[in-house]
Structure 1
C-alpha cells in the first residue's frame, strides 16, 4: 500500500512487525557466527534488545512519530545486550533524533532519519569496522537520501534492497567472513528488521505470526540470592517527570533495598524491594504521573519455587530502615558457571551477574547492579568482549563513579581482582587493574557446530576447538590431546602457574587422570583446577 506520510502509530506497527520477524529468525542470525562455536548470539542479543524497545512503546496511543521513536530508543538503550544490541540501540537513537519534534514524516524525512541512525552508530564505536552492521546502515542511510519518491512504502522497499546488496558485499570487506562463507550476522539482523518494517507497510499493517521459541534465562544480580527475603514486594514503575534533585532516591533508600534509580530525559525508572509499595507509589506520585506499575510478592514467589506450604507472615515492622554504611569500593562481575561465580565472590565481588556467551546481560541489568552497589567507587568486570559496550553504556547512564575494566575473559577478570588494593586510591587501582589484563593468557576449549575452514585449518562438525584469547589455535577429534597441545602453546619460560576451570560436561575421572599427567609434565609450575561448572566450554584455562 502507498503511504505519502507515516505517523507514530504507523511507525509503531512497523517496528512491532520487525520485532516479531527478528524473534522468528534469531536462530538463523545466530548461526552466521564466523567461528563455528556453539555460542553464536548476535541474533539473540539483537532480538532481546529490540523486543525490550518495542515493549517500552507497545501500548502507546500517540500518533506523534517523534514521541514514539524517542520512547522506542530509550527502551532499546536500556535493553541493549551485547555489542550488536548496543549498536542497534544507537541506530534507533539516531533515528529518533532525526524524527524529533515531528508529528508525521514523508519519505525523504524518514530517509534522513535513517542517515542519522548511521551517524549515531558510528559515533558509538571507537574503532568502526567496515563489513559489519555499521556498513549496512551507512549504505542504507546514504543511498536512501539520494532516492527520490513520495511513497514511504516504496522507500522502504529500496531500503531493503540497499541493505541486502550491502550485506552481500560484507565478505569482500572482512576476510574472516569470506573464509567462513557467511555474511555479517549483525548486518543480517538489521536486514531482518528493515524487512519487517517494509512488510508492515506493504501489507497494510498486517502483523507477522509468531513462531514458538524456547525461552532464554533471565539475568539477575547476585544480591537477591539469599533464601531469606528482607523486603517482601518487588516494586517497579516509571514516573513521567524529570526529578529536580535526589531526594526521592534518598527516600527509597529508607524504604527498602535493591534500588534501581535511572533518570533519562523526562522519565524516571524505579525498581525497589520494599515492605510498603503503597507508600512508595504515593510519594512518587507527588513528582508526576505514574505508569508501568508492577508489584510482585517475592515471599510468595519464593514459597512457590521451593514448593513449601504457606506460612504465616508477620505484618511489616514500621521502624525506619537503617541505611548501610557506604563502602569505598564495590565490584560487579559477569560470569557463567556456578563454580566461577563462587571464585569471584570469594575474591570480593559484590554483585555477580549471570551471563557470558549466549547470555549477555542487558544495559539495564548492569545499571541495576550499579545502582544497588552502596559504594563510592564501582569497578565493572565484563569478562567478555561482547559485554564491554553495554557496561560502558551502563556507566554513562548510572551517574555514579563507575570504572569499566575491559576484561574479555574470565582469567583476565580474576587477574584484575588479584591486582586490587583496597587501601590504594581509585586512580592507582584503575591503572593496576588495567595493567593486570596483560599478565595472563586465556585459553578455552569447546566444540565445532559446523564444517568450515579457519585460517587454513579444516574444521569438521564435532571437532574439539582450542582457542587462545579469541583465535582458534588447535583443532582435534580427541579432547585431552587438544587441551595438552593448547597449554603447550600458552606456557613459556616466564610462566609460573596453570589454572583450569572445568565445565559441567567434563568427566571428572578422566580429568583427574589428565591433571595428574599435567602436574608431572609441568612440575616447576603451580597446576590448579577449579570446578567452574560453565556450560558449552569444557575448559577455560589461565596461564600466568
Structure 2
C-alpha cells in the first residue's frame, strides 16, 4: 500500500517493478502458451520478463526518497528500450517511454496524472506500429487508458483510476478472440494483453494493498475455420509463421526522423510486425518479421549506426509452432509420464529451454548434487531425461543417477556438454516415442553439434596453443583453448573458422551477459562474408559463464 498520500512516488514505482518481475516469472509459462500472434513462437512471457528486467537493471538498487517518480520512469524507459526482447518487449518499452514522457518532472502521480500517462502510452505504442491490429495488447492498453480516463474525470484518486484501468483491461482481454481471427482459431486470448493486465494488477496491489481476485476465461474451444466466422479479417501474412522466417531486432543510433521514416517504409515492404520506437533522443529500437534478415539489417545500416542486432529463426521451431497454433499441450509428464530437466544459466537461455517445455534448474557454477537430486525427485514423472549442459561432473552424474533411480522412476543423463548442445538435443525431443528411442535421438543431435565459447582469461596459464595472460581473449573448442588473441572479435573469428573447418549448415550463438555490444553482429558479418551458405541464429542467452557460446550443426 502507498506510504505517502494518494499518489505514486519513485519508491512505490520501484516496488511495482519488483512485484511485476516476480509475478511475470511465476506466470511466464502461462503467457507463453497463449502466444499465437503475430507468430506462434511461444515466447511472449519470456520477452516481457526480459524487457522488464532490463528496465529494472537500468534503475539499479532500491530507490531512495531523492528520486522522483518522473526520474524513475525515465530510467525504466531507457533500460527497457535497450533491453527490449521480441514484439511484446518493444511494445512494453514504448509504453514505458510514453509514461516517462507524460510524467517527466513530477515528484508523485495522482489519478489524473496516471490517466494522462496511460493515454500517452497507448498513443505512443500505436504510433510505433506500422499496422496495429485489434484484439492485441494495443487494444487492451487503449481500453485501460479509457477506463482510467473515465475514472479520472470524476476523481483524482489514484486508487480508483488504477483499479478502473485494470478492470477495463480485463474486460477487453476476454473479448480479444472476437476481434482477432487467429485467437479465435486457437481458442486463446492475446498473450501480450494478459501480460499487460498482470502488470496493471500489480500496480493495483501497490496502490491499494490488495491484488484483484480475477477469474478470467483465458482459453476456450478453438473455433473451426469455416470461412464464415463473424470476426474481423486480417492479412494472413500478419500471423502466418510460414510467411516470415526471421525476427530481426536492432538499435539504430545517430539517425533522424526522416531516415527512420524511410526505414519504416522499407521494412513494411520486406515483412510485417514492424515496430520502431524511440528513446526520446536520437536512438530507435527496430523490430520486424521478414524473410530476408540481411536486407532488414542493410536497411538499418542506411538509417544510422546499428548495435544489439538479434536474429531469431522461426523455422527452426516448426514443431513447437504447430503445437501453439493448434493449442495442443507441449510434450510433458502429464501426457507421456516423461519429463525433461535442463540445467541452464542466464534468463534468455533459461527462457529458451522453458519455451521448449523443459523444466529448468538454474545454475551459475557447478550444480550442487543435492539440489539436482531434489529437482529430479520433485518432477511428477516416471521417466526423466536430464540435460546437464556442462554443469554436472561425471562423478556427480553417476552418483545422482544411482540415487534418483528408486524403482519408481527411471533417470537418463544425456551427453550434453553445453547449452547449445542441450538446445539441439531438445529440438528433436518427441514424447510420443519410446523413452530409449527418444533419448537416443536427442543424444545423437547433441553429439552432432560442435560447440565452442569465448571468454576472457582471468589468470596466466599454459594452454595447448601457448601461454595466455589475464585479459586475453580466449576461444575454446569444447573444453580446450584453441585461440588466444588480444582482441575478442579476432578471437571469435578465428574460433568460428576452426570449428567450421569440418563444415556445417547452422550456427547458433548464445550471447552472454558480459558480451560487449556488437560482438554477435561483427561475427555474423564475418560469417556472411566467408560462409554465405550458413544459417545464423543469435539469442541473448544472458549467461555469465561465457561471453558467447556457439554451436555448429
TM-score, length basis structure 1:
0.40
Name the structure, 1 or 2, with higher relative contact order (CA <8 Å, separation 6+). 1
Rg comparison, structure with higher value: 1
TM-score, length basis structure 2:
0.39
